[in-house]
Amino acid sequence: MKHFAEMISVLANTTKTNAKINALQNYFENASSEDKVWVIALFTGRRPKRTIAGSLIGQWCMEITGLPDWLIAESYHTVGDFAEVIALLLPEDDIRTDDNLSLSYYMNALIALDKKDDQVKKDFILQSWGRMTRMEKFVFNKLITGGFRIGVSQKIMVNALAKITSVSPSIIAHRISGKWDPSSISFDDLISDDGSVKDFSKPYPFYLSYAVENLEELQEEKLWQAEWKWDGIRGQIIKRNNELFVWSRGEELITEKFPEYHVLQHILPDGIAIDGEIISLGPPNSSLPFTPLPFSVLQTRIGRKNISKKQLTEAPVGFIAYDILESDNRDVREFPLEERRKILSSVIQDIQLPFIHLSPIIEFSSWEELKKIRMNSRDIGSEGIMLKRVSSAYQVGRKRGDWWKWKIDPLTIDAVLIYAQKGSGRRSNLYTDYTFAVKNGEDLVTFAKAYSGLTDKEFAQVDAFVKRNSVEKFGPVRTVKPELVFEIAFEGIAASNRHKSGVALRFPRMSRWRKDKKPDEINTLEDLRQLLQVYGTSRQVNNEKE
């Protein structure tokens, strides 16, 4: 744990990519096989489920320190990180520094506590705290609470692994994907070619795009393939060893969540991996062989363990195929896009399923023509346009040069700030999480929360306003005078019975501070309803328990 905590300290205190890679490389070169596997698991989101409630951690801290619960709560609102608060409050006396147990020891011990009673858990936690430095306590607490995020991307970790193994990053990224148990797999089995083929479900790393800034820089139009950009869940459908696997971009295995796809196990050829969009689809329309439904419709299916017949009917799920990554058990990612497209087209045509579609290509002869076509994106339920170089390979992660996204401008509404809450992490001392309202007659109605879009300077200015103009306090939330107006941007709008406004927004954020507007000039609830009528869906985003 000591060496792991030292690495975390380095990673948390630098913004330089090379320094982070070097810290990870040094750790991987010296750590045990078990510890290396756990670091890979932690940095790729494969944390085991929590076995100890946060309330118990707080209770035990109170018993040790003698501090009241309200003081711990206030400390949390100031620091913004529960694990850090506990580490700061615990005493550092009589540390047994000679007892340096490994990361894998602690991870396996935490897992083993799942079925134990609270006293056994308490004894283990208190003994562990007693042998740790403050930094080790902080890291240990992060492992307990499950909030382990330190600003290290998977790409950085993959590059560090590539350096110590002399294997290309794209191959490393593929080998550490899929479903594997850090408690039972060795580092060599995970990284080696022999080990990677044991898992038939293993997906490929997704190829991601950057936003295009200047179309003219892309050179000749004929070098590019244009497709619509859809608003769903990026996913891969894989069939190997006569088994079907459906993965989300976040590497969650979601095969059972979409029973519509189960028929593919019997229809798709074996040894195939298709990249595309999991999306709710309606019947054909005048311009497309399907009607894309808003993300809010698909959202009613996300997270449900059991899907009812009603949900299958109200939120039918389809798949828009973008690319093919594996064909006939062969990795075809290095094939040019135009060749992969031919293979994919043949597969989709052969299976002949009404809910599986090949991503339509947009025909255009000039960038000016494509600009006009893009203006109609929202009319057909699209977020914009994807541009892909026809000669491009399917790469790993977010790369510049071959794939670009060209999204339409977001919808906007002017609203007034009425509630504020402190942020977390480096913003834990600032009020940066806001709730906004629009007018409804003489009243104000909340409709969105947002915490991004402003500069650090602007956040500091709003924080100062909140502290000077707080009207009421509800726990960590402050009611403020309705004086600051902001333009709220969002990607989509849907009807909702969870919100007083009756609408739910997709990706709301502050696009600008409207210092030129007064509160009586903000938009109204009727304006939101008109946007809903034009761009939204009447299907309700409900608040049913899963």
Instruction: Using DSSP, state whether 537 is helix, strand or coil.
Output: coil
d(CA 84, CA 502): 38
d(CA 169, CA 181): 21
Q: How many CA atoms lie within 13 A of 117 on its CB side?
A: 1
d(CA 393, CA 365): 23
Question: What six digits make up the tokens of 173?
Answer: 């990224």
Where are any strands of DSSP class E within 177-271? 207-208, 210-211, 224-229, 233-240, 243-248
Q: How many CA atoms lie within 13 A of 6 on its CB side?
A: 11
What is the number of other CB atoms lying within 10 angstroms of the CB of residue 12? Answer: 14
Q: Name the packing angle between helices 33-43 and 17-30 (round to 10°).
A: 150
Handedness of CA 478, 482, 488, 492 (dihedral sign): positive
Where are any strands of DSSP class E within 154-222? 207-208, 210-211
Q: Which amino acid is at 532?
A: L
d(CA 451, CA 459): 9
Instruction: Using DSSP, state whether 302 is helix, strand or coil.
Output: coil
Contact assessment for residue 444 and residue 438, using Cβ atoms and an 8 Å cutoff: yes
Q: Which residues contact 184 (CB under 8 A, 6 or more apart)?
A: none
Q: What is the pLDDT of residue 541?
A: 44
Question: Whole-prediction pTM value?
Answer: 0.74
Residue 483 CA from chain centroid, whole number: 33
Q: Which of 109, 122, 137 is nearest to 2 (CA)?
A: 137
Instruction: Using DSSP, state whether 280 is helix, strand or coil.
Output: strand
- Over the chain (546 residues), the average pLDDT of each successive run of 10 is 88 86 91 92 83 88 89 79 88 65 90 90 91 89 77 82 87 84 88 67 91 84 94 94 91 87 94 96 88 85 78 90 96 96 96 94 93 90 94 91 92 96 79 95 93 93 94 88 95 83 91 93 94 69 38
Q: What is the pLDDT of residue 540?
A: 45
Question: What six digits make up the tokens of 516?
Answer: 């030129």
Contact assessment for residue 355 and residue 281, using Cβ atoms and an 8 Å cutoff: yes
Give one DSSP letter per residue of 31-75, joined into a string: S-HHHHHHHHHHHTT-PPPP-S-HHHHHHHHHHHH---HHHHHHH
Q: In the chain, how many H helices and how many E strands?
A: 20, 23
Q: Which of 254, 321, 257, 267 is nearest to 289 (CA)?
A: 321
